């Protein structure tokens, strides 16, 4: 049995095609074979160089190419040189197009771009968790966006919501008894958004929070006087920074997030494509 060369040609990584090759070859009792993977084949000259190499061997070509010109070129060359070849994408793409009545993008590396978006989202979520509630002020300089506000102004839910849009968010609680971190005043004010709420809404939310914790609703945390002091303290800091202030009272997370995204666009802050 002559040595078999399986050529895997892809406009992306070619990992899927290589795995198909390995799964197929495992069905045979043979050791005289080699899988040669060629990734990111994005120009015709490179493709032809690979095909000429395959011509000189006992080869099979397995490919995942979305560029129709490249596919036609490969099929023509293989037909002229009697090289068996398998297209792993075109039939399925055509079936999907037929069933959905939509045209494929035929964009090389599309799945890799989707993977990159996924990992950016995961990175942003991990960032939001790591720098939630002022855990580490050093993260402020790395953030795409910094949210500041007193307790119960939706800082954490908004951080997580925006993280799912690939935005790295850090948030800092503003408490009269605790000095705001110096790093906050070193951040570009255009990257900072202040959050506030109405005293009535905060009283209601905090009272329910105390009940959930089994604590007395008369605690200072929920008192109007305390809430007014916190709001005054926080808004004073926000004015010093010069950042926009959003009142989240009676706003859904999605609505507040939409306002924040508009502010970021207006301020020229990069927003990652979802």
Binding-site positions for ADP read 149-156
| Residues annotated within a binding site | 149-156
Q: Is 245 helix (H, G, I), strand (E, B) or coil?
A: strand
Q: Length of the chain in residues, anyone?
A: 274
Q: d(Cα 8, Cα 19) in Å, to the nearest integer?
A: 10
Q: Which residues contact 162 (CB under 8 A, 6 or more apart)?
A: 124, 128, 145, 169, 257, 260, 261
* Residue 254 burial by Cβ neighbours in a 10 Å radius (0-12, 13-18, 19+): exposed
User: Is residue 115 within 8 Å of residue 155, measured between CB atoms?
Assistant: no
Q: d(Cα 16, Cα 98) in Å, to the nearest integer?
A: 24
User: How far, in whole angstroms, is CA 185 from its chain's centroid?
Assistant: 28
User: Is residue 6 within 8 Å of residue 33, measured between CB atoms?
Assistant: yes
Q: d(Cα 225, Cα 227) in Å, to the nearest integer?
A: 5
């Amino acid at each position: 049995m002559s040595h078999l060369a399986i050529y895997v040609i892809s406009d992306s990584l070619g990992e899927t095609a290589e795995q198909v090759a390995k799964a197929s070859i495992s069905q045979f009792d043979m050791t005289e074979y080699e899988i040669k993977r060629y990734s990111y084949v994005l120009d015709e000259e490179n493709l032809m160089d690979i095909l000429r190499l395959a011509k000189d061997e006992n080869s099979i070509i397995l490919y995942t190419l979305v560029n129709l010109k490249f596919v036609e070129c490969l099929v023509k060359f293989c037909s002229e040189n009697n090289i068996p070849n398998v297209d792993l994408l075109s039939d399925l793409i055509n079936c999907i197009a037929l069933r959905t009545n939509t045209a494929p993008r035929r964009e090389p590396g599309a799945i890799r771009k989707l993977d990159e978006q996924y990992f950016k989202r995961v990175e942003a979520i991990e960032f939001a968790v790591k720098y939630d509630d002022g855990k580490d002020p050093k993260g402020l300089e790395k953030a795409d966006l910094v949210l500041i506000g007193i307790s119960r102004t939706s800082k954490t839910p908004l951080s997580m919501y925006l993280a799912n849009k690939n935005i790295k968010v850090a948030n800092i609680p503003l408490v009269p008894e605790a000095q705001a971190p110096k790093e906050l005043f070193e951040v570009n004010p255009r990257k900072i958004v202040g959050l506030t709420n109405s005293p009535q809404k905060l009283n209601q939310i905090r009272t329910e929070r105390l009940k959930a914790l089994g604590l007395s609703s008369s605690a200072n945390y929920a008192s109007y006087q305390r809430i007014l002091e916190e709001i005054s303290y926080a808004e004073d800091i926000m004015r010093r920074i010069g950042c926009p202030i959003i009142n989240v009272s009676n706003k859904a997370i999605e609505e507040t997030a939409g306002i924040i995204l508009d502010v970021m666009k207006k301020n020229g802050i990069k927003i990652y494509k979802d």
